[in-house]
């Protein structure tokens, strides 16, 4: 708005929740910059901002183009490590979404080098996580372990318990996926302890879910259920019914995997009752979908049909024709066998 010349009248777009306003403002700023002969550093900043907004909006190809221009403009004037690191990080994240992992990795690694030159811990940590993400995607787990340890050291120095927990969880994941047979449980347990000390419920749940994955891989049903139950309790205490329902679904899936169908049904039914309190109808729909599936697996076809019918009613009330169509299909396979 400050960039519009005095006296100029322009119709403004409606304020869209998906970033339409931001895109309009950025495009208008770029138009004014170009017309006014703005310097390359200013244009680089505008292009970087545009790339971030387009990425958030899901315009991936456009985000990549803007991020590349931001990098080129920034390099042409040696505008500084921070702007280049941020632009390269946005470029890397966009490339990942198109599965162009090697290109994404090159951009992320260069971004990390620049961020470390700049010396700002928050920026360095953010970029390092981008490097970690693409390193996992390219299956270089030894390198992922190294990056996670570097991140853990920096978080420890800055006394960031939540950040240290995240780093330890990444280390455990890399150890788990590596062929080195390194036990991931000590790092994962440390991640959980740090998360609990930090008071971050999201970090605590993430650590518990990681531990449940490791226990599931080891075919330890009791430990898997124990960790998922702890995650569910964290959500219950936080009053987050939507996430508590998701935790119950995970419990149902685990019981189902170990053929403990009575407990799978119990978790699914509890999730259904709790889903009535959730603010989103999608939670209720998903709970009914899971419940119908468990009944069908137990060959309780009448109850499977009943849950599917209820799902159809909820979808119809919410104006969800796709969900309604799925509900019509759900009970069909058991009856066709």
Give the CATH number for residue 43: 1.25.40.10
Looking at residue 213, its pLDDT comes to 93
Phi, psi of 51 (to 5 degrees): -60, -45
Structure tokens at 312: 């159809």
In a domain, 26, yes or no: no
The token pair at 258 is 């170990």
Structurally, the chain folds into a number of domains equal to 1
Q: pLDDT at position 35, please?
A: 59
Whole-number pLDDT of residue 36? 58
Q: Within its chain, how far is the Cα of 175 from the centroid? A: 21
Question: Is 104 within a domain?
Answer: yes
Nearest to 158 by CA among 119, 210, 190, 191: 119
Contact between residue 35 and residue 73 where contact means Cβ atoms under 8 Å apart: no
Q: Is residue 144 part of a domain?
A: no
The reported pLDDT for the residue numbered 24 is: 67
Whole-angstrom distance, CA of residue 160 vs CA of residue 188: 17
Distance from C-alpha of 167 to C-alpha of 148, rounded to nearest angstrom: 5
Residue 19 lies in a domain: no
Q: Has residue 207 been placed in a domain? A: no
Q: Which domain holds residue 116?
A: 39-120
What is the rounded CA–CA span in Å between residue 196 and residue 179?
30
- What DSSP character marks residue 88? H
230: Cβ–Cβ under 8 A, 6 or more apart, which residues?
A: 208
Give a yes or no: residue 198 inside a domain. Answer: no
Per-residue pLDDT of the chain (337 residues; tens, 9 = 90+): 344 444 444 444 444 445 566 666 666 666 666 655 567 788 888 889 889 988 988 899 999 999 999 999 888 877 678 889 999 999 999 999 999 988 999 999 999 999 888 877 888 888 999 898 989 988 899 999 999 999 999 999 989 999 999 999 999 999 999 877 789 999 999 999 999 999 999 999 999 999 999 999 999 999 999 999 999 999 999 999 999 999 999 999 999 999 999 999 999 999 999 999 888 889 999 999 999 999 989 989 899 999 999 999 999 888 888 888 888 877 654 443 4
**Domain assignment present for 258:** no
């Amino acid at each position: 708005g400050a960039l519009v010349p005095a006296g100029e009248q322009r119709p403004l777009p409606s304020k869209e929740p998906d970033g339409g306003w931001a895109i309009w403002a950025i495009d208008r700023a770029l138009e004014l910059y170009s017309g006014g002969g703005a310097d390359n550093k200013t244009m680089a900043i505008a292009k970087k901002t545009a790339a971030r907004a387009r990425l958030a909006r899901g315009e991936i190809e456009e985000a990549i183009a803007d991020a590349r221009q931001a990098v080129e403009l920034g390099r042409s004037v040696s505008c500084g490590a921070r702007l280049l690191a941020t632009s390269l990080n946005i470029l890397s994240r966009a490339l990942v979404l198109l599965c162009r992992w090697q290109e994404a990795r090159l951009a992320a690694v260069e971004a990390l080098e620049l961020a470390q030159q700049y010396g700002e811990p928050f920026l360095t940590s953010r970029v390092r996580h981008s490097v970690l993400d693409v390193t996992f995607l390219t299956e270089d787990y030894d390198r992922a372990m190294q990056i996670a340890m570097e991140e853990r050291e920096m978080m420890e120095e800055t006394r960031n318990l939540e950040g240290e927990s995240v780093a330890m969880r990444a280390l455990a994941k890399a150890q788990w996926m590596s062929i080195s047979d390194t036990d991931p449980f000590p790092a994962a347990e440390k991640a959980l302890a740090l998360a609990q000390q930090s008071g971050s419920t999201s970090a605590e749940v993430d650590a518990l879910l990681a531990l449940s994955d490791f226990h599931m891989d080891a075919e330890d049903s009791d430990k898997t259920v124990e960790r998922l139950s702890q995650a569910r309790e964290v959500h219950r205490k936080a009053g987050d019914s939507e996430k508590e329902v998701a935790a119950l679904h995970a419990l149902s899936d685990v019981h189902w995997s170990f053929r403990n169908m009575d407990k799978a049904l119990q978790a699914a039914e509890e999730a259904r009752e709790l889903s009535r309190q959730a603010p989103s109808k999608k939670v209720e729909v998903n709970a009914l979908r899971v419940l119908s599936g468990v009944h069908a697996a137990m060959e309780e076809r009448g109850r499977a049909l009943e849950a599917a019918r209820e799902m159809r009613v909820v979808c119809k009330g919410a104006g969800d024709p796709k969900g309604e169509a799925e509900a019509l299909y759900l009970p069909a396979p058991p009856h066709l066998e």
